[in-house]
Structure 1
């Protein structure tokens, strides 16, 4: 049953809701329900979800989002985008999902934060993927609560980014993933080269391609 305190006045712009597996990062392989929010504050040239970039005034009440999510058997929810933290009511959705017993993951570019999440952040697996479009800037509030760093390895990426001081804690904790852009062979080789370079410096990072694409899943 949905909780009565979830009010339809709280709504978010949603691009799509679907079930698949988590194909990226440290939780790869986890059966997941994806809530893709509409709208992003960055414009990465290789973005694989360009239809989710523009902001929209069309919204779905949180109650409606929960109803859709509960149609699927999976109990892990991934909020992605677009950029989830660009949505003022994100914390309302997060609280509702936690109260309904879902495990929760948020994928973010790291540039923004929602203060409403301060009291719930420890109950959420936050995957931060810093972007070259923002000079790999990450809001300090995001870094504080990040569970993993996922770097897309493309032409602009280098080991110098991983070695930045603000990322050192997660690097030492072995919570860094290198993801070859578009699963392209050239970027896979580059990611492996960077992994070896970092290994020689005493750091362990993981190279994980987009597994869902390899399996032909959404």
Structure 2
């Protein structure tokens, strides 16, 4: 589902919901105040400026179809595009360095992959079938690591991820490291990716300790 130059956030939200059948959620956005981009939530210490739900009951404010997404974004055209996890997909969240290492390794080994995002905060998120949050600790322990020792987390039920081209603060926008396509419509199980991602995170942790 390649986008077109000049597409609006509404266009992207409609495609995610209509073509990919992902639930979409309009989130916060950035306003320029005295030349500085600030989140509309007005929180001075906002951890995800311009890219978070605006209400605690956000889980009931999603749309799962193209027409539904269009109605939501026509009311808030500047809203960021958020994707609730734990519904049609979970996401495995790792540092960008480890993510790039794992991505190259998995492509070399022809491991089936789903979409992957890259955030301006230096993270990569690998989309997998729901259930990753429950599986990850056991898989990591079987590989010989303590789950808390690796910089690897999962986004599942009750959580969300920001979708491209959502902008996060002044650092830039979320981008696709691996775009959604017809070939990766069927998402992989977390079991297939976690060993590679955990290994890459372990390698990065070891390298950091040696510096």
With normalisation by structure 2, the TM-score equals 0.29
Q: Larger relative CO (CA 8 A, sep 6+): 1 or 2?
A: 2
